[in-house]
Amino acid sequence: MVTKEEVIEQYDVEAMDEADNVDLSEDDLENGSKGQLIKRAGQLRDRRNELNQMASERASKRDDLNAKTREKVDEAQEHREKRDELNEQVQEHKDKRNELNAEANELFDEVEELKQDLELGSGKSIEELEEEIEDLEFRQQTEVLDAEDERELIEKIDDKREKLAEKKEKVDDTSELDELVEEAEEVRSEASQHHQKVTELADKAQEHHNQMIEAYREADDIRDEADEMHELFVEAQEAADRHHEDFVRVQKRLRELDKKEEEERQDERAEKREEEKEEAEEIYQKFKEGETLDTEDLMKLQKTGLL
C-alpha cells in the first residue's frame, strides 16, 4: 500500500509544513491591538493563498492520476473483451473438433467392421500365398515323388491357389474400404486443424487475460496513489479554509475596531461642538450686554450660527 510520503516524493509534491501555519487564539482576536491584528491578517492571507495553491496543485495531480486509472481500466476492459471474443472462438473450434472427431470415430468403426466382413486381417497375405505356391511348384518340378506324395503335393497347390483366388477377389472388393479410410482420415485431419486453432486461440486468450489482470493491477496501484493525493488535497484545502476563516474573523474584528474608533471620534466631535456652542452662547451674551468683541469671538459666533 502506497503512503502519503511515497506519493509526495514520487510526484514531486510540496509537503505541507505545519510549522508554517498561522494560529489565531481568541485572546489574540479579542485583545490584540489593531496593528497586531492587521499584521496577523496579512500572515493569514498569505498562508491561505499558499495553501490554496498547494491544494490546487494536489487536485491537479489527483485528477491526472484518476484519468490514468480510467485509462488503465479501459485498457483492461479492452483485453477482457478480446479475451472473451477469443474464448468464444475457442469454444466454436472445440465444438467443431469434437464433432469431427466423433464423425471420424464412427467412420473408423465402419472401416473395422468392413475389414472384418472382408476378413482382410485374417490368414496369409497374397504375397505369402504366391510364394508358397511357387515353392510347392518348384518342389513338384525338381523332386522325384511317388504317386501318393505327388497327389498330396498337387492337392496342396490347388488348395493354395484357391485361397489365393479368394484373397485376390476380396482385395478387388476393397475400393469401398479405401474410400472409407480416406474419408475418415480427411475428417480426422480436419479435426486436428480445429484442435490446432483451439490451442492457438487459447494461448492468445490467455495472453489477453494476463494483460487484463496486469492492467487492473496497475489501475488499482494508480487509484491508491490518487486516493492518497486526494487526502493530501483535503489536508491542504482544510488548512487553507481554516486560515481563510481566521482571516475573515480578523477582518471582522478590525471592522469592529474601526467602527468603535469612528464612534469615539463622533462622540469627541459632538462633545467639542457642545463645548463650542456653550462658549459661543457666553460670547453672544456679552455681545448683547454691549461688550466689544474681537475678531476671534466673532468667528466663533459665526461658526455656531449665532451671528
Task: Write the DSSP assignment of 64-120 as a string of letters.
Answer: HHHHHHHHHHHHHHHHHHHHHHHHHHHHHHHHHHHHHHHHHHHHHHHHHHHHHHHTT
What pLDDT shows up at residue 246?
96
Q: CB neighbours (10 Å) of residue 141?
A: 7
C-alpha to C-alpha distances, 223 to 217, 234, 290, nearest whole angstrom? 10, 16, 98
Q: Is residue 100 part of a domain?
A: yes
Q: Is residue 296 part of a domain?
A: no
- The CATH number covering residue 88 comes to 1.10.287
For residues 7 and 223, what is the distance between their CA atoms, to the nearest angstrom?
Answer: 12
105-129 confidence digits (pLDDT tens): 999 888 888 776 665 555 676 678 7
Q: Which amino acid is at 307?
A: L
What pLDDT shows up at residue 276?
74
Q: Is residue 20 part of a domain?
A: no
Q: Would you say 176 and 114 are in contact if contact means Cβ atoms under 8 Å apart?
A: yes
Smallest CA-to-CA distance from 110 within 182, 218, 19, 39 is with 182
Q: What is the b/e burial string over 276-297, where b = at least 16 CB atoms within 10 angstroms of the residue's CB?
A: eeeebeebbeebeeeeeeeeeb
DSSP-derived 3-state class of residue 125: coil
Q: Would you say 273 and 51 are in contact if contact means Cβ atoms under 8 Å apart?
A: no
What pLDDT shows up at residue 253?
94
φ, ψ of residue 197 to 5 degrees: the values are -65, -35
Q: What is the DSSP letter of 18?
A: G
| CA 167 to chain centroid | 73
Q: Is residue 293 part of a domain?
A: no
Report how many domains make up the chain. Answer: 1
Domain boundaries, position 208: 30-276
DSSP-derived 3-state class of residue 291: coil
Q: Is residue 43 part of a domain?
A: yes
Smallest CA-to-CA distance from 132 within 161, 89, 167 is with 161
What pLDDT shows up at residue 70?
97
What pLDDT shows up at residue 247?
96
For residues 102 and 95, what is the distance between their CA atoms, to the nearest angstrom?
Answer: 11
What pLDDT shows up at residue 67?
97
51-69 confidence digits (pLDDT tens): 999 999 999 999 999 999 9
Q: Is residue 97 part of a domain?
A: yes
What pLDDT shows up at residue 112?
80
Q: Is residue 134 part of a domain?
A: yes
For residues 84 and 72, what is the distance between their CA atoms, to the nearest angstrom?
Answer: 18
Please say whether the dihedral angle defined by the alpha carbons of residues 78, 79, 82 and 85, taken in this order, is positive or negative.
negative
Please report which residue ranges of the chain form alpha helices under DSSP H. Answer: 4-10, 26-31, 34-118, 126-142, 147-172, 175-288, 295-304
Spans of the chain below 70 pLDDT? 116-123, 125-126, 168-175, 287, 297-298, 300-301, 305-307
Q: Is residue 146 part of a domain?
A: yes
Average pLDDT, the chain: 87
What pLDDT shows up at residue 177?
75
What pLDDT shows up at residue 306?
61
